[in-house]
Amino acid sequence: MDKNLKRMTTMHRMQTKGLELFYKKGFYNTSIDDILKELSLSKGAFYYHFQSKEDFFISIIQNLVVRKVYGMLIEPIEGETDPFTAIEKCFENALAIAEHNELDYGFVLGNFMNEFNGRNEEISKYLRDIYKVWEVNLVTTLQKGKTDGYVARHVDSEGVAAFLISSYMGIRMLMVEGNSRNLSYHFLQQIRQYMKSLAQTRLV
């Protein structure tokens, strides 16, 4: 267990830095040497721990991306009874993090889905699976919201889920350079407007 610690530490350092650079510069446009240079490690160390660049990336998905998407975008909505409020808070939080230039894993997901689509089927599958869990979770919460009287009954939960995710990824795509604060404000405003039109009208 003690010797496993060293192994884990080094692997984790590589994965963290790897994700940072892959996200910033793209997977195909980031060399292993780029990562190794920043960590002052050698090729030998890398290929001792990972079989290939692809294998390395898959380990990043499984160890970092999956968990973060869960923590940031799935769990905060999961148990909640009022779906629209939960979703609003969740997006608000995620966009705030994105503004501070930290990794926003919702968009990390979309970003990589985009880069690997049609180029690497295996990796694409891993990413799509995460997306699907996210989507299913949203649908479930929305459906439950109907029984609890928060969501209008005519609402197409699957359509709404797909639309929410896609608009979120879209706004993140446009949130570059300086206008990101302005954009995320606009986005949250409009998402509220949209969700309001889907809410069950309460009879008082």
Q: Which residues bind a copy of itself (CB under 8 A)?
A: 24-26, 28-29, 110-111, 113-115, 117-119, 124, 128, 131, 156, 158-160, 162-163, 165-171, 173-174, 176-177, 183, 186-187, 189-191, 193-194, 196-198
Helical H runs in the chain?
2-25, 32-39, 43-49, 53-60, 66-69, 75-78, 83-99, 105-116, 121-147, 157-174, 180-196
7, interface contact from a copy of itself, DNA, none, CB < 5-8 Å by kind: DNA
Distance CA 127, CA 113 (A): 6
Find how far residue 46's CA is from the centre of its chain: 26
What's the closest the beta carbon of residue 168 comes to DNA, in angstroms?
30
The answer to whether 138 and 77 are in contact (CB under 8 A) is yes
Of the residues 12, 38, 47, 159, which one makes contact with DNA according to CB under 7 A: 47
2, interface contact from DNA, a copy of itself, none, CB < 5-8 Å by kind: DNA
171, interface contact from DNA, a copy of itself, none, CB < 5-8 Å by kind: a copy of itself
The single residue listed with the structure tokens 């001792």 is 48
Q: Is 185 in the site for DNA (CB under 7 A)?
A: no
Tokens of 18: 């790897």
Distance CA 2, CA 7 (A): 9
Of the residues 16, 30, 85, 137, which one makes contact with DNA according to CB under 7 A: 30
Q: Is 38 in the site for DNA (CB under 7 A)?
A: no
Interacting residues toward DNA by CB under 7 A? 2-4, 6-7, 10, 30-34, 40-45, 47-49, 52-54
